[in-house]
Amino acid sequence: MKIINNSYDLYEWRQKYFARVFCRSLQANFSAKTVDFRLFANLTESGVITDEHLQKLQNIMRNETMAAAVLHFLTELLPKRGSKAFNLFLEALCESQQEHVADHLKMWLGDVCSEDAGTFKSLRAELQSHYERRLASIRPMPWLQSICLNLTDVFVERQLKLKTNHKGDGKTMKDLFTPQETKAIPRRLLIEGNPGIGKSTICQTLAHEWGKQSCGGHCGTVCVHSFDLVLYFHAGDFIDEESVAHAVQKHLLPSDYSITTSELQGVIKAKNVLIIVDAFDEANAGNRTLDRLIQGDILRHKTLLITSRFNFLQNKLSFFDSKFKVQGYDEEEQLQHVKRYAKHKNIASAPFESMLKDKSIRDLCSNPLNLTLLCLLREEDTQLRITRTALYTSIHRIIRRKAGERMDLTEAEVEESLHCSCT
């Protein structure tokens, strides 16, 4: 039998089940004549309530009913009195000859908690296996499924620049969630950056890491593993969805997974949840649920991480506690990128390293997408030097695919977009 043993569980329990179970218990089990003074005296003695609380309870007893006083104690006082308070309360019940009430509560809570914990555990396991399976690979050109790189092998750890900090201090992804200047855990985080700079890959890595279940204590104080649940979405997943729970059902769970929307809503409400939403810039028009989420109109106490290209959230910046920008690779990161790529492919890294010194393409290498394409081209063609034209052709195809409708970009437009994605 599970007894509630910490204040967080107790809070959840209170939110969801309290009124129902206790009103029932009160009616069915309390011996109102004996409970009042002895129970509250015991609670005062064991430090669960203060003299001030006692006075308040006695006032309620006098002016309303005993049941109202007990309910006030249970809903307003007990959940705020620390992790041991609930068990002390059960002891006080026994000492004031209300052992049957204590047993009844224990039994009922045992059932409820195991049922609830079962739903959460199975949901968590389902999401973790989904991320482990689906997010293990990077596909730099999504329409070419055959070009696929192992995320763990090739991933280069990124530096994120805090936008509000004039010193321009960097943060690593490991301490993304640690409190900033305000000392409060950030609840709304924004990462902005140019096309191909690595925003989606950061989101994918966070969800994939969480899917691996534990960091073994290697991350920062508040890392992605601190969250009970991570919900990883593309911004477009919220279009036409009336709530986050609906979006989870539609986009993250298999259609034969049996959980109701309200059960899902209950778990999301009760647990420490990180919601990751990638590519705001691609699906912000008419995205009401996403807007409400950003504004804190729904799930205000959950952590939300959004990524976007620059300038799409100008009128929403005030909702974010932490704003970061992800910049291009520095020389060290470029080197790491090509070395990891070569190791993953089990080929020598020297040709890739010398490519980084080629003046004709050097300015392109700070963009992770460009550098990946350069590596792919270099691997294909180890004899010939990579020309900008070869890269243009590839990027041109990518831009056409991404834009969907633009099939007629000129080389000058490609050049312009390359430059903009390099900075």
Ligand X SMILES: Nc1ncnc2c1ncn2[C@@H]1O[C@H](COP(=O)(O)OP(=O)(O)OP(=O)(O)O)[C@@H](O)[C@H]1O
Alpha-carbon distance 90 to 96, whole Å?
Answer: 10
309 binds ligand X (CB under 6 A): yes
Piece of the chain touching ligand X by CB under 6 A; list 41-49, 126-134, 155-163, 238-246 = 155-163
Piece of the chain touching ligand X by CB under 6 A; list 48-56, 121-129, 191-199, 244-252 = 191-199
- Choose, by CB under 6 A, the member of 86, 155, 177, 352 that binds ligand X: 155
Decide whether 98 or 327 has the Cβ nearer to ligand X.
Answer: 327
396 binds ligand X (CB under 6 A): no
Structure tokens at 52: 């001030």
Query: Do residues 77 and 89 lie in contact, with contact meaning Cβ atoms separated by under 8 Å?
Result: no
159 binds ligand X (CB under 6 A): no
Tell me the helices (H) and strands (E) count for the chain, helix number first: 16, 9
The per-residue DSSP string of 278-303 comes to E-GGGS-TT-HHHHHHHHTSSSTTSE
368 binds ligand X (CB under 6 A): yes
- The DSSP 8-state label assigned to residue 96 in this structure reads T
**Short-list 96, 93, 62, 76, CA closest to 10:** 76
266 binds ligand X (CB under 6 A): no
Decide whether 7 or 205 has the Cβ nearer to ligand X.
Answer: 205
CA 106 to centroid of chain Cα atoms: 33
193 binds ligand X (CB under 6 A): yes
Piece of the chain touching ligand X by CB under 6 A; list 107-115, 198-206, 249-257, 264-272 = 198-206
- Choose, by CB under 6 A, the member of 79, 186, 198, 266 that binds ligand X: 198
Query: Do residues 294 and 305 lie in contact, with contact meaning Cβ atoms separated by under 8 Å?
Result: no
Size of the site for ligand X (CB under 6 A): 20
Alpha-carbon distance 284 to 300, whole Å?
Answer: 19
Minimum distance of ligand X from residue 326's CB (angstroms): 7
195 binds ligand X (CB under 6 A): yes
- Choose, by CB under 6 A, the member of 29, 58, 165, 200 that binds ligand X: 200
CA 359 to centroid of chain Cα atoms: 41
Other CB atoms within 10 Å distance of the CB of residue 154: 23
With 0-12 / 13-18 / 19 or more C-beta atoms within 10 angstroms meaning exposed / middle / buried, residue 20 is: exposed
48 binds ligand X (CB under 6 A): no
Minimum distance of ligand X from residue 168's CB (angstroms): 20
Element containing residue 162 per DSSP (H, E): strand 159-162
Helical spans, DSSP H, in 135-167: 151-154
- Choose, by CB under 6 A, the member of 53, 72, 158, 171 that binds ligand X: 158
Q: Which residues lie closer than 8 Å to 314 by C-beta, 6 or more apart?
A: none
The Cα-based distances of 419 to 357, 365, 366, 383, 403 in angstroms read 18, 11, 11, 27, 17
Piece of the chain touching ligand X by CB under 6 A; list 51-59, 93-101, 192-200, 291-299 = 192-200
Residues 317-346 contacting ligand X, CB under 6 A: 337
- Choose, by CB under 6 A, the member of 79, 140, 186, 266 that binds ligand X: 140
Piece of the chain touching ligand X by CB under 6 A; list 46-54, 193-201, 206-214, 345-353 = 193-201
**β-bridge mates for residue 234, sequence order:** 278
372 binds ligand X (CB under 6 A): yes
Alpha-carbon distance 255 to 270, whole Å?
Answer: 23
Alpha-carbon distance 216 to 37, whole Å?
Answer: 50
Alpha-carbon distance 161 to 159, whole Å?
Answer: 7
Piece of the chain touching ligand X by CB under 6 A; list 148-156, 159-167, 225-233, 403-411 = 148-156
Decide whether 25 or 201 has the Cβ nearer to ligand X.
Answer: 201
Structure tokens at 357: 């010194």
Decide whether 151 or 185 has the Cβ nearer to ligand X.
Answer: 151
- Choose, by CB under 6 A, the member of 135, 156, 229, 376 that binds ligand X: 156
199 binds ligand X (CB under 6 A): yes
Decide whether 93 or 138 has the Cβ nearer to ligand X.
Answer: 138
Minimal CB distance to ligand X: which residue? 198
Decide whether 104 or 163 has the Cβ nearer to ligand X.
Answer: 163
138 binds ligand X (CB under 6 A): yes
Amino acid in position 307: T
Which positions touch ligand X (CB under 6 A)? 138, 140, 154-156, 158, 193, 195-201, 279, 309, 337, 368-369, 372
